[in-house]
Structure 1
Amino acid sequence: MTQGTLTGRTIVVTRPREQAAGLAAGIEAAGGHALLFPLLEITPVADLSAVHAVAHCLDDYALAVFVSPNAVAYALPALLAKRNWPAALQAAAVGPGTAQALAAAGVTRCLLPAERFDSEGLLALPELAAEKVSGQRVVIFRGDGGRELLTDVLRERGASVERVTCYHRSGPRDGFAPLEAAWARGALDGIVVSSSEALDYLLSGVSPAARARLQDTPLFVPHQRIAEIARQRGLTRIEQTGPADAGLLHGLVTYTRWTQ
């Protein structure tokens, strides 16, 4: 990373508080200022009985899908509290950050999309084709709400799918006033949004004046689906980057070099 590449640029990092440090540090190391404004607050479920129930019969599943690093953080410790990960159980991750979290916990055999890091990308893998999953038990560890595409398609392909909620998601606890004040001062040069849920909270929560400023602010997103949703919502200044912190930071630096 070239020192000073982002000098004078303020970038809003909207990831959950627990996942924002790495990208913020990279922005600061490149000379920029990272304004932390989590659009999602992540909290564990109060009752882990569903996770514990799966742990007792983990050997019966053919595939365990983790939809995010949060799913790993809030489900895997409970799953492995009294047993090891079954050697025959195939793990799957929607994105590289999730796969890295699994690997850090010792689950290294993991399916991962090659390009599109979302449910569509995972479902496109040959290992999840109908002839592979039909008749198999699949468990999906996820947050509350969210898309049902992965569940629906796997069931259509003949799999028996169980969904386990291991964390809750909610919008910004303190409202949007700090973000809108920074926009009003003209102090924002870009905003990073790394999930469609976060984008929904942003678009529904800001005032009309801030929404207008958002139209003029480069929006950096690491996934094709988020870019598609942003366009559907009427946003035009969208920069799709590579995945995870490294991809986002590379996209920020490349964009800044082009626009200096």
Structure 2
Amino acid sequence: MGEQILAGRSIVITRPVGQAESLCSALAALGAEPLRFPLLTIVPVHDTAALEAMARRLGEFSLAFFVSPNAVNLGLDALLRGGAWPAGLAVATVGKGSEAALAARGFRQVIAPASGFDSESVLALPAFQAPEVAGKRVLILRGDGGRDLLGDTLRARGAEVEYLTCYHRRGPVDDPAPLLERARSGRLDALTLTSSEGLDYLQAMPGGDALLGVPVFVPHPRIGERARQAGFARVSITAAGDSGLIDGLIAHFSARNHNTYPG
């Protein structure tokens, strides 16, 4: 990893503040210029009544599922003010970032897929099958909105499901003008997109079509399809996580350097 294989490449990182540092550091170590432009802004819940009420009810649930590192950190900050985590409440999540966030908070036994980073991967786990969840109460901790596939499927399998909003998601707050100017002048080499919702905000951005010619790297086919529908001409689907995005970027630019990559 010490080789400057991405030297001189300007790569836009669109993850929220607090979730981009590891990827930016890894890209910088490879010689790239990481450009932070968060497409999602994470805002804590201001009315904490629902969180406080849930803190008193945690013992009613058999399984708690955290959808993201933000759900872990902001959810636990509120729920643990009233006491310790119930001993009988199993914890589940998806994604290495969320697993790391739970480990940092002291959770050692976390149910999570070893591969795959979406609701479909979670629903394939033995702990989420109908014989395991039927008649049990499941708490899903998340931001406002999002996909309902997990909750809907668990209900169909006989579980009682409740959602708890731990944070709000908003659009970008940074001025996009410098980023768009770099795109217009051909000084952006790649754009990473890790959220379909973030892509929606990008589409709504005045002048955002200046980015459509920049190669896009996404860690999930669903986001890739959305990027193509948005008009991006060059979309690469990578493996999940930081390592997947980095490997995809390296493969792309190595191919270009050897004149084997079209365009």
Aligned to 1:84: 84
Residue of structure 1 in register with 2:127 after alignment: 127
Deviations 1:16-59 (A, max 9, x none): 12211221111111111011111011110102222222222222
Give the corresponding residue for 2:220. Answer: 223
List structure 1 runs of 4+ shifted beyond 4 angstroms. none
Structure 2 unaligned spans of 5+? 258-263
**After alignment, is 201-210 or 87-96 more displaced?**
201-210
- Which residue of 2 is the match for residue 203 of structure 1? 203
Looking at structure 1, the residues matched to 241 and 209 of structure 2 have their Cα atoms a distance apart, in angstroms, of: 31
* Equivalent residue, structure 1, for 2:141: 141
2:165 alignment counterpart: 165
What corresponds to 1:98 in structure 2? Answer: 98
Partner of 1:114: 114
Task: Kindly state the Cα deviation for residue 85 of structure 1 after the two structures are TM-superposed.
Answer: 2.2
Aligned position for 1:67: 67
Letter paired with 1:225: R
What letter is aligned with 1:92? A
The answer (yes or no) to whether the contact 2:202–2:208 under 8 Å persists in 1 is no
CA RMSD of aligned residues (A): 1.8
CA contact (8 A) 1:69 1:97 kept: yes
Equivalent in the alignment of 1:38: 38
What's the offset of the Cα at 1:184?
Answer: 0.8
Deviation at 1:206, TM superposition (A): 4.6
**Distance apart, 1:207 and its partner CA:** 2.7
SS in 2 for 1:135: coil
Structure 1 unaligned regions, length at least 5: none
Task: Tell me the TM-score normalised to structure 2 length.
Answer: 0.91
**1:242 matches 2:236:** no
- Displacement, 1:192? 0.8
235 and 131 in structure 1: CA distance in 2 versus 1, 3 angstrom threshold: farther
1:208 shift after superposition: 6.5
Output the CA distance in 2 between the equivalents of 1:244 and 1:206: 29
Q: In the alignment, residue 166 of structure 1 is paired with which amino acid? A: C
When normalised by structure 1's length, the TM-score is: 0.91
Higher mean alpha-carbon deviation, 6-15 vs 82-91, is at 82-91
Q: Please give the secondary structure, in 2, of the residue aligned with 1:166.
A: strand
Distance in 1 (alpha carbons) for counterparts of 2:161 and 2:235: 35
Amino acid at match of 2:243: A
> What pairs up with 1:12-51 in 2 under 5 angstroms?
12-51=12-51
1:6 partnered with 2:6? yes
Q: How many residues align?
A: 257
What is the CA–CA distance in structure 2 between the aligned matches of 1:27 and 1:208, rounded to whole Å? Answer: 24
Which residue of the other structure, out of 239, 246, 249, is the alignment partner of 1:252? 249
The 3 A distance-change label for structure 1 pair 17 and 87 is: same
Aligned-pair identity (%): 49
Distance 1:224 1:133 in 2: 29
